[in-house]
Structure 1
Amino acid sequence: MNKNLIAVCCCIWSVHSIAQTKKVNFVSDVKHQKVDVLIDGKPFTSFLYPDNLEKPILYPLMTASGLTVTRGFPLDKRGNERTDHPHHVGLWLNYESVNGLDFWNNSYNIPADKKSKYGWIRNVKVEKTQGHEKNGYLVYSANWERQDKHVLLKESTVFAFSGTDDTRTIDRTTTLTAQKDTVYFKDIKDGMLGLRVTKELELPSEKEEAYTDNNGIVTKISAAKNGANGDYLTSEGKKGNEAWGTRGKWCMLFGQKDGQQVSITIIDHPKNPGYPTYWHARDYGLFAANPLGQAIFSNGRESMNLTLKPGESVTFRYRVLLTSGKKQNAAELDRQAADFSRQRSSKF
């Protein structure tokens, strides 16, 4: 493994070592294309990478107290849970328009005659796992491909996992490198780091909505009648539905599940393109950071249209923090963001 990668991981972990972090272990299952992540001997998440998911994911995500905060569908149907958007599963990273191909919305639900309009993240290879008394990391590589398997981007990702008595943390660093083609990321709504949450963390809603993807496929969302009690808060003080389409260095989604306070916070990094990111945070349970959709979220006042020439790379860094038994406040999350911003990172 590249020595720079080891340095990145060690630096990421250093800030957590002072908080009585727990031992991290990995259990690999090559046959079923998954790696289980255990913290203090308890399940936290699994890295899943079968081709039929159209992308690698972390699923499910569980708090230190053992509560699942991700939606089950489509891998595990649960009672009174939404079954819309089958491409929303676990925690993932992809984008809606890469050389005109939609990587975000691809799933088993796309008709065969329209599948050529969608991209696929395939040929995933787990390069390295290493557990430790206080932390652990998983490194993988993958290809962002057309349906004919022509490779547009090479992906290299490192996950650094850690946990304490009441927190679970994922630090993700993903580098995308253009191959033979110049790669264009059109400013668009659906991207980039995405998470679909359990029904309790949805925002209460009494209206039906309809959402259309880049290829004209419409998905209807019914009113929330499933115990939803979630709420958003951003670093800029935006709450609830007002968080959508606004910038912030972090965004927290919080609520109660089984009588216990839980929260999920996504923290942006100053070295990311488009920092601070726009939040693609929907009331029905989609929670995403999209730094590349500037023309959409600014109503045309801004634009990015990120372009990579062959051989050029871009790196995205995010921290995902889960807490249970307490609600994080803005001052604590500002400290987390400051810690994360000081983490060194390099290409690998």
Structure 2
Amino acid sequence: MKRKNCGLAVFFFFFPALLLAQNLYQVTVAAGDYDREDCPVFIPVSLPDNGTVSAYWHLYEKTHKGFIPVLCQQDHSPASGIWFILSGTTPRHTRRTFLLKRETAKTADTAIMKIQKTFSSYVLERGSQKILNYRFRIMAPPDGADPLCQKSGYIHPLWSPSGEVLTRIQPPDHPHHYGIWGPWTKTHINGREVDFWNLGKGQGTVRYAGLLSLEEGPVFCALRVHQKHIDFGTNGPDRIAINEILEMRAWNVGPQAWLVDYTSTQNCPLPSGILLEAYRYGGGLGFRATGHWNNKNSSVLTSEGKTRQDADGSKARWCRITGTMPSGENGILFMDHPENRDFPEPMRVWPGNANNGRGDLFFEFCPIRHKSWTIKKGKEYTLKYRMFIFHGKISREEAERLWNDFAHPPVVETEKIK
């Protein structure tokens, strides 16, 4: 799959005065052992408090033609620094040099990556194109389904760049399935089982609990929310078993594909902690695919060469899922991060004869598939995933390059110029 340049640099300038300015850094980006293409890059610099900012960061790439302005964006999450897209192709073992400068002039409003709030959801967008919808309001169960199957705190729809909806919620066979979501299944609190996945049991659920932050800009948009994993089985009022901070971040890599990071940080407030029992599904990142996909028009390929017939229970760094839609072929590349628990993570993949031979498609990175996990009180646990959503096809080689960008990003060196 070929993608056009992101358009992050549009004019050439010669700035000899840059070298004499204060608050100026030289930034060197090394591709390392991997080819790069339209790759998010983080520059770790100390940023002043937002309330006292009187200057703005500007980034310029140093080329043989002069300095090219490059769109960049401050990160207002717990990380401190600047993000930009290393646009175009950067071959392995090569370096690119930039100048990062604080200036009093603010650039024109280029916040192409935006978040719209509706009555029920936050919608991440690139320009006029919708990327994903995060539902914060309770969705009632479908007619005839168990009232316990109502839920908030999930992604649906997830759109492809061609506008196709790739997710599904509340299918008749599994009314507790919700697009992209990740509740735990077999958990134990003081020896008592609590199931947050199978809502019909009435033991627990995961719900939206509040907005933490919202960021927009030329490089990314990011939504950070608080989700509560609620235990219904206590003597007395319901209680929180797990607090989760979920961040969904969409990168501006152009209109031909979406690049979305899905990061979950969880902690348990209970003195006893919570045991996540080894089970074939639960937690991590789950995906219930569109009802258009079945065993005749969809496919699965993992980094280890497994297909839909033998991927279930195996481990992989990435999994490519594709299927035919009215607009043609669309797909998602799901990527696992080396820092995740039990990396490369085991997966739950429905085989081709799933659901009485219909071949509906379900995928999940499942960090407790083979090993139980104890979440202790007061300790934070983070799981990082990335999704590349595309129209058309991507090769195995492209999937490897995309995963390397996520797992082994370019090395950045900064030097303050006095």
Question: What TM-score does the superposition give when structure 2 sets the normalisation length?
Answer: 0.64
Query: What whole-Å deviation, never above 9, does each CA across 1:122-154 have from its counterpart, x for those lacking one?
Result: 352111111112311001112211124211111
Match of 2:275 in 1: 184
Match of 2:218 in 1: 133
CA contact (8 A) 2:153 2:208 kept: no
CA–CA distance in 2 between the matches of 1:120 and 1:309? Answer: 20
Given the alignment of the two structures, is residue 330 of structure 1 paired with residue 368 of structure 2, yes or no?
no
Given the alignment of the two structures, is residue 276 of structure 1 paired with residue 276 of structure 2, yes or no?
no
Given the alignment of the two structures, is residue 105 of structure 1 paired with residue 202 of structure 2, yes or no?
no
CA–CA distance in 1 between the matches of 2:257 and 2:320? Answer: 14
CA–CA distance in 2 between the matches of 1:156 and 1:199? Answer: 30
Given the alignment of the two structures, is residue 232 of structure 1 paired with residue 291 of structure 2, yes or no?
no
CA–CA distance in 1 between the matches of 2:79 and 2:279? Answer: 31
Match of 1:214 in 2: none
Instruction: Note the C-alpha offset of 1:94.
Output: 1.4
Q: Which residue of 222, 233, 254 maps to 2:322?
A: 254
Instruction: Note the C-alpha offset of 1:9.
Output: 8.8
CA contact (8 A) 2:160 2:258 kept: yes
Instruction: Note the C-alpha offset of 1:307.
Output: 0.6
SS of residue in 1 equivalent to 2:87: helix
Match of 2:310 in 1: 242
Match of 1:216 in 2: none
Given the alignment of the two structures, is residue 6 of structure 1 paired with residue 98 of structure 2, yes or no?
no
SS of residue in 2 equivalent to 1:287: strand
CA contact (8 A) 1:196 1:287 kept: yes
CA–CA distance in 2 between the matches of 1:139 and 1:333? Answer: 27
Q: Structure 1 pair 140/104, CA: closer, same or farther in 2 (3 Å)?
A: same
Q: Which residue of 252, 258, 263 maps to 1:168?
A: 258
CA contact (8 A) 1:201 1:253 kept: no
Match of 2:145 in 1: none
Q: Which residue of 44, 61, 66 maps to 2:158?
A: 61
Q: Higher strand proportion, which one?
A: 2
Q: Which residue of 150, 154, 159 maps to 2:248?
A: 159
CA–CA distance in 1 between the matches of 2:75 and 2:124? Answer: 23
| Alignment of structure 1 residues 185-224 onto 2, 5 Å | 185-192=276-283, 193-204=285-296
Alignment size in residue pairs:
290
Query: What whole-Å deviation, never above 9, does each CA across 1:77-120 have from its counterpart, x for those lacking one?
Result: xxxxx5210111211121112222111121xxx2xxx41xx222
SS of residue in 1 equivalent to 2:160: coil
Structure 1, unmatched stretches of 5+, are 75-81, 205-228, 295-303
SS of residue in 1 equivalent to 2:382: strand
CA contact (8 A) 2:115 2:123 kept: yes
Instruction: Note the C-alpha offset of 1:259.
Output: 4.7
* Alignment root-mean-square deviation, CA: 2.6
Structure 2, unmatched stretches of 5+, are 1-48, 51-73, 90-109, 140-149, 353-359, 411-418
CA–CA distance in 1 between the matches of 2:80 and 2:154? Answer: 20
CA–CA distance in 1 between the matches of 2:112 and 2:256? Answer: 14
Q: Higher helix proportion, which one?
A: 1
Instruction: Note the C-alpha offset of 1:287.
Output: 1.4
CA–CA distance in 1 between the matches of 2:405 and 2:308? Answer: 26
Instruction: Note the C-alpha offset of 1:7.
Output: 6.0
Q: Which residue of 108, 112, 130 maps to 1:23?
A: 112
Query: What whole-Å deviation, never above 9, does each CA across 1:232-254 have from its counterpart, x for those lacking one?
Result: 00000011221111110000111
SS of residue in 2 equivalent to 1:200: coil
Match of 1:298 in 2: none
- Percentage identity across aligned positions? 22
Give 2:239's aligned amino acid.
H
Larger Rg: 2
4+ long deviations beyond 4 Å? 1-5, 7-11, 19-22
Give 1:337's aligned amino acid.
W
CA–CA distance in 2 between the matches of 1:262 and 1:10? Answer: 34
